[in-house]
Amino acid sequence: MWAVISQIPVPDVVARAGGMLSYLPVPSPLVAALALTVLFGLVWLLHWSITPSSNQLNLYYNQSNPLTLCIPKRPPRRVETTSSIEHAATTRHAPLPNVAKPPSTTQTLPKRLAARCPSLTDKAKAIFTPSRWLFNGHLQTAAVTKLAFFKGYDVDYHRELVSLPDGGAVALDWYPSFEEQPDSSIPIVLILHGLTGGSHEFYVRALVQWMTAAPYHYRAVVMNNRGCGFSELLTPQMYSAGYTDDLRFVLNRLHRQFPDTSMLAAGFSLGANILVKYLGEEEGRCFLQGAVAVGNPFNMLKASEILSEGLLGSLIYTKVMRNNLVRAFLRHKQVFNGSGLDVDLVAKSRTLYEFDDLMTRRMFGFETVRDYYISASSSPWVRRVRVPLLCLNSLDDPICSFQSIPFQDCINNPYVVLATTAHGGHLGWFETGADDNQIKPWWTKPVGEFIAALEGTQVVTSGAQAR
């Protein structure tokens, strides 16, 4: 199903009405209180009159040339119960005895998903029903920020600082730590956060808890970009939407440390763009067994243009992102002294475009912001991805427009599965929880199922698939 989101200009009558407000008398406190009471009453009635409709998830993939996977027949892992975090008891892997290499079988990717991913493929279960409280994409998006410190999603990370070749550093936040669970055979899922985010973000902690609890029992590691996640910036270089060298360095390092451990990855928003671009650049050289990109902007230029043209995009979203970037920049401003950047001018940038013009494109050597956006886009790299990849996007995402999704490239590549929902906002997908007053993320179900379905598998390539 395709959805069309129209751009609605602000009528002139709104501007005229705004000018007339200055001539109205200031209401008394009693009148103001009554007006607010009526307003909240109308909102309450609107809320209960709206029953969110269920969204059937739409799946796009290559049906004419399906990918074939080699799947080992392994005995189930033995687990032992240990300490738990607040929301639920978790279980951890016990080291397995030495056993002979098990036999394997083959299965196409669509059949594998049909067998292991009901939240993606089962029509009765591949459904997202938005919470009654969050009935549109803007509310779903706002909830992601408001739930930054949502109770019940606490994670006690163990931080590891990784030095980079140029003198910079990234912070890796592990859960569970190797002190808590020393078994190095536990599958690892690497998580990449969004713009100016970190391991503290709600969506990151939600996935960490989901993948480390039953039935998966994985080990999660969050890669905090340079200067993110409350880490120090050591060199006058931050990160960008298209800079993949840090991710490449970290993954190569993890592979050297754990050569026999299953490794998968998940990226959100800007992190999703970086991950997909990296996968395309590496092509068949990547050792990840599977990857997930959630809320990927894909085409940075088109997504930026659409966002800036929209009313809420230009008035709210781009300004919030600009404010977050400037705040992150000022937190490390002493590092940029003598770097050639005008620190004061960057701090005074009024829009996201201005920040990228004064800061990002100069830092990474681009002539214009347009050149930077084009180069940073992951959409041209989708066709080169050679790792099973799930792309999950919402068609009402107010930040990463559905118009930027490369539908045909996703369908043509047998390694890529694209899943879309009509609603969900940007990284939201909140559904009703245990009762009507609670909400919980829905997206963890299809993401967790996909990651687990690919764990331990290998791709059986053919000439057509290798192109």
Note whether 66 and 95 are same-domain residues: yes
Domain co-membership, 327 together with 403:
no
DSSP 191: E
149 shares its domain with 215: yes
Is 206's pLDDT higher than 80?
yes
Note the pLDDT of residue 19: 42
Q: How confident is the model at residue 48 (pLDDT cuts 50, 70, 90)?
A: very low
Pick from 297, 292, 343: nearest CA to 318: 297
Residues 187 and 111 in one domain: yes
In a domain, 8, yes or no: no
Q: What is the pLDDT of residue 321?
A: 95
pLDDT bin (cut points 50, 70, 90) of residue 129 is: very high
Q: The domain containing residue 341 runs over which residues? A: 314-376
Domain final position from 358, 376, 394? 376
Instruction: Assess whether 202 and 275 both reside in one domain.
Output: yes
pLDDT(153) > 90: no
Instruction: Provide the Cα torsion 281, 163, 212, 287; round to 10°.
Output: 30
The verdict on residue 72 lying in a domain is yes
- In 193-243, DSSP assigns E strands to 219-224
From residue 430, alpha-carbon distances to 122, 312, 394 in Å are: 20, 21, 12
Mean pLDDT over all residues of the chain?
85
User: Peptide bond before 236: cis, by omega within 30 degrees of 0?
Assistant: no
The verdict on residue 422 lying in a domain is: yes
Report if residue 23 sits inside a domain: no
Q: Which residues contact 17 (CB under 8 A, 6 or more apart)?
A: none
CATH number at residue 200: 3.40.50.1820
**C-beta pairs of 43-51 under 8 Å, 24+ apart in sequence:** 47/132, 47/133, 47/135, 48/132, 50/132, 50/135, 51/132
Based on the fold, state whether residues 249 and 348 are members of the same structural domain. no
Q: 43 lies in a domain?
A: no
Q: Is residue 226 part of a domain?
A: yes
Catalogue the active-site residues.
269, 397, 426
Number of structural domains the chain divides into: 2
Report the alpha-carbon distance of residue 5 to residue 233 in Å, rounded: 40
Global pTM value: 0.84
63 in a structural domain: yes
Q: Say whether both 286 and 264 belong to one domain.
A: yes
DSSP class of 351: S
Tell which of 356, 376, 396 closes a domain. 376
What value does the mean pLDDT take over residues 203-223?
Answer: 97
Same-domain pairing of 370 and 389: no
Clarify whether residues 358 and 391 are in a common domain: no
In this predicted structure, what is the pLDDT of residue 34? 54
What average pLDDT does the segment 350-357 reach?
A: 94
pLDDT category at 38 given cuts 50, 70, 90 is low
Residue 179 within any structural domain of the chain: yes
204 shares a domain with 79: yes
**Residue 7's CB: how many other CB atoms inside 10 A?**
9
pLDDT tier, 57 (very low <50, low <70, confident <90, very high otherwise): very high
Contacts of 20 (CB under 8 A, 6+ apart): none
Residue 155 above 60 pLDDT? Answer: yes
User: What local confidence, expressed as pLDDT, does residue 435 receive?
Assistant: 73
Question: Do both 77 and 186 map to the same domain?
Answer: yes
Q: Is the confidence at residue 31, as pLDDT, over 90? A: no
Cβ–Cβ < 8 Å for 394, 423: yes
Q: Which helix (H) or strand (E) holds 456?
A: none
Residue 405 and residue 357 share a domain: no
